[in-house]
Amino acid sequence: MQIFKVGGAVRDRLLGKPVTDIDWVVVGATAEEMLAKGYRPVGADFPVFLHPKSGEEYALARTERKSGRGYGGFTFHASPEVTLEEDLIRRDLTINAMAEDDQQNLTDPYQGQRDLEARILRHVSPAFAEDPLRVLRVARFAARYAGLGFTVAPETLELMRQLSESGELEALTAERSWKEISRALMEDQPQVFIQVLRDCGALKVLMPEVDALFGVPQPEAHHPEIDTGLHTLSVLEQSALHKQPLAVRWACLLHDLGKGLTPEEQWPRHIAHEHTGLKLIKAVNERFKAPKDCQELALLVGKYHTHSHRALELKASTLLELLQSFDVYRRPQRFEEFIAACEMDARGRKGLEQRSYPQADYLRGAAKAAREVAVQPLLEKGFKGPELGEALKRERLKALKAYKENA
C-alpha cells in the first residue's frame, strides 16, 4: 500500500499558496485492507474512506469510463492493480494531476509543473470532454488564478467549446452547477469566470440572459464603456475588489438582464428595463436553485437599482415605498446589501471606478429616520390593527420629509 497527496494540495504548495484541503490517493490496497486499518467508508459511488484519526478523505486509486450523460454518467473501477498514473490521468487539468509522497517527491506524468510555471490551464487527456462539469471548473480556476497570469490553453478551450455544443451541459444538475457558480463568484476575479464561459460558448447555454447583454449598447454619457455585457463584467469585478458577499455578487451579475430584451430600434436607451428584467432574473434564480437570500436580493436589486442611483431626487413617498419593499425595520442587512450592489453598479463604469457614491449614506440615513419612528405613542393614542399600520406609515413619511429637508 502506498499513499500519495494529490491534486490541489500539491498544486497550491508549488504555487506558494496556503494549502487548505488535502486529498489522498491510496495505491495497491483493497477496500477490505482499508477497513482492517480502521478507515471508515463514505459514499456509495466509489471507494472513499475517512482516516480513523484525522477524518481526511482517502480514495482508492481508480479508473473511470463514460457510461451516460452528465457529471454522474461514469463507471468507476478501483483495484490494487490501478497505478498512480492511471488514477491521475482521469483528472481535469495537468496542474491538478500531480502527486507527492510523504517525502515530497513529485510524481508528474502529465507535465503539470511545467504548465504551472507557464501559467497555463491545460486538460490532461481527451477524456476531459466526457465531463461537462469541467467546463465550469476550468472557468472557475481561470477566475482564481487570473491574478497570477493563468490563461486557458487554446486546445482546452476548444474541448470546452465542443462540450458546450454537445448538449452535455444541459445534463448538469442545478445543485452541481450552483456549487461551481457560487464558488467561482467568490474568487478574486469572478468576471474572468463569466468571460471564459462566454469564450467557449457555455454562457449562451447556461445563462443565455447574461450572454445576450454583450453587444447591447447603453448611453455613453452614463456608461463610457457602452457595452452592457462589459459593464456587467466590470460590476462583478468591483464586487470582488470590495469583498462583497455572495448574494451581492449574484445580484451584480443579474441586475441589468432587462437590457437584453430592449428592441434594437430603442438602443441605446433601455426604458423600464428594471421591470422587464424581473422575469429573466427569476428564471435564472430558479434554473440554478440559488439560495433564497441570493434570489431575493437579485430581484430587489434588479427592480430598484435605478431608485438607488436617483436616491437624492426621490420624493419622500417613493423613499418610503422603497424602504417598505425591503422591510428595513426587520431586515436591515438586506437593505445594506442592496446599497452595496448599487454602489458596485455605479463603480462598474469605465473611468468612474473611484467616483464616490453619496447615495449610499443618504439611503442609510433615510432608513435610520424611518426606523426611529416609535410605535408606542401611536398605541397610546388607541391605534390598532390596520389603522396602526396606516398611522405608522404617516409618521414615517413625516420623518422622511424632515430628513429630506435637512439632508
> Binding site membership: which residues?
8, 11, 21, 23, 91, 137, 140
Please enumerate, by residue number, every residue annotated as part of a binding site for ATP. Answer: 8, 11, 91, 137, 140
Please enumerate, by residue number, every residue annotated as part of a binding site for CTP. Answer: 8, 11, 91, 137, 140
Q: In what order do the strands lie in the sheet with 2-6?
A: 40-42, 48-50, 57-60, 23-27, 2-6, 99-100, 106-107
| DSSP helix/strand/coil, 134 | helix
CB 145 within 8 A of CB 116: no
- Cell representation of residue 310: 436617483
* Burial bucket for residue 228 (CB in 10 Å: 0-12, 13-18, 19+): buried
Give CA–CA dist 51/345, Å, rounded.
47
Strands 2-6 and 74-78, by their bridges, are unpaired
Q: Is the dihedral of CA 135, 137, 138, 139 positive or negative?
A: positive
Count of beta carbons in the 10 Å neighbourhood of residue 382: 9
Give CA–CA dist 391/192, Å, rounded.
50
Please enumerate, by residue number, every residue annotated as part of a binding site for Mg(2+). Answer: 21, 23
- Cell representation of residue 280: 429573466
| DSSP helix/strand/coil, 4 | strand
DSSP 193-241: HHHHHHHTTHHHHH-HHHHTTTT-B--TTT-TT-BHHHHHHHHHHHHHH
Q: What are phi and psi of 52, to 5 degrees?
A: -60, -25
End-to-end CA distance of the chain: 73
Strands 23-27 and 57-60, by their bridges, are parallel
Nearest-Å Rg of the Cα atoms of the chain is 26
